[in-house]
Amino acid sequence: MKKNILIPTDFSDNAWSAIVYALKLYAKESCTFYFFNTINNEALAQRSLVTGHFLEELKTKAWQKLLDLKELAMVSNDTENHDFEIVLSTEKLTSAILNTIKEYQISLVVMGTKGASNKDTIFFGSNTISVFKNIKSCPVLIVPDEYDFVKPKKVAFPTDYNRFYKDTELEALSEITQLYNATIKIIHIQERKELSKVQQYNLNQLDRFLQDFEHSFHWMPNYAKKATVINDFIEELSIDLLAIVNYQHSFIENLIKEPVVKNIGSHPIIPLLVIPE
């Protein structure tokens, strides 16, 4: 079955990095990539007078940029498994993406960490945060700026075992794992000496679900902010991709609250798969 992947773009270098990563990640898969842009942005909202002529001019320019992007992707792509479509919206970003996901049966959204207003010390741009906080119908894959593609052979999955994961949530994890026969490294930051009965039950259920996948369980001491501990784990085990289920009080909230520096040592932060609750 063909996979439909939505890639929002503001035509920045960071957005192109996300496109390149997605094309390489799914090189062997049959996919249709939808390049998406909306002209309803902050700059437009701040204008006191928006004429119909001005809007049409914006739409024409954005449509041409999408056509040029599609052409560039087709030239750069070295597989016949991929098709490309373009989508232009006049709605606000998040609502436009939600409607596009529904209309085109999108199964994955791929985005860059930041847009044209690139800031070196912030991991997530405001648009990226808005998307993965509000998109509940499919996973969002976030690709760091200027990230060179590496086959995801090691996927890290943080959990506190306080939550029972549904099959639909874990299927997103197993699907990306199957692309390159990756090993799943399950990380638990140890806040107590022993797991509660609920935590132990959830660990056993997770182990059972992943029985057909190569996986291992890792315990990390609670010596710093969770983002720091996870970053250290990523570096020590040479993790290629981080997968997180986004639910209330999850690790992803810490990433939003804490300013996460772009580099871990000398290496860019790895791609992040945000799986909706």
For 107-145, give the DSSP string. -EEEEES--SS--TT-SS-HHHHHHHHH--SS-EEEE-T
Cβ contacts of 137 within 8 Å, gap of 6 or more: 98, 101, 102, 106, 276
The pLDDT value recorded for residue 254 is 58
The pLDDT value recorded for residue 277 is 81
Summarize pLDDT for 10-52 with one digit per residue, the tens: 998 889 999 999 999 999 999 999 999 998 755 555 555 556 6
Our CA angle for 145, 75, 139, nearest 5°, is 45
Give me the domains of the chain, ranges plus CATH numbers: 3-143 (3.40.50.620), 154-271 (3.40.50.620)
Instruction: State yes or no: pLDDT of 119 exceeds 60.
Output: no
When pLDDT is averaged across residues 79-105 and rounded to a whole number, the result is 93
For 235: left if phi > 0, alpha if psi spans -120 to 50, otherwise beta; the answer is alpha
Summarize pLDDT for 255-274 with one digit per residue, the tens: 555 544 444 433 457 999 99
Q: What is the number of H-type helices and E-type strands within the chain?
A: 9, 12
Report which of residues 173 and 50 the model is more confident about: 173
When pLDDT is averaged across residues 92-109 and rounded to a whole number, the result is 94
The answer to whether 256 and 132 have CB atoms below 8 angstroms apart is no
Q: 138 falls in which pLDDT band (50, 70, 90)? A: very high
